[in-house]
Amino acid sequence: MNIKSNSFFYFFIVVVSLLIVILQYELWFSSTGVFKYSSIKKSVKAQTVEVNDKTQTNNQLYSEVVSLRKNSEVLESLARQNMGFIKKGEVFYSVK
């Protein structure tokens, strides 16, 4: 081998090595890289759990609203417990 082909070979190796380093950097550290993907995946998982919790809470509240609309006794019971309402003709005694 002569010196020209040897230097070309080393130049080629250096260029390929630089390309590999640049591409690896893009793979791991860019805005679409592995680390960003991992953090976004964790965020999506946390938000999914939060959405499921809120969906369950909404379903419970919806069933309570339906119950209050259909049954006036439930509404009366809640008004007595939470707000201290009494019916006409009833006497309220407060014992401390």
Please tell me which residue, 87 or 16, carries the higher pLDDT value: 16
Whole-prediction pTM: 0.55
Mean pLDDT of 38-46: 96
Q: What is the pLDDT of residues 55-95, one digit of tens each?
A: 999 999 999 888 888 888 888 888 877 887 787 887 777 78
Q: Give the rounded percent of residues in the chain with a pLDDT score beyond 90.
A: 42
Contact predicate 16/9, CB 8 Å: no
Q: What is the DSSP string of 25-94?
A: HHHHHSTTSHHHHHHHHHHHHHHHHHHHHHHHHHHHHHHHHHHHHH-HHHHHHHHHHHH----TT-----
What is residue 2's predicted lDDT score, i.e. its pLDDT? 63
Please tell me which residue, 48 or 75, carries the higher pLDDT value: 48
Residue 1: pLDDT over 60: no
What is residue 31's predicted lDDT score, i.e. its pLDDT? 85
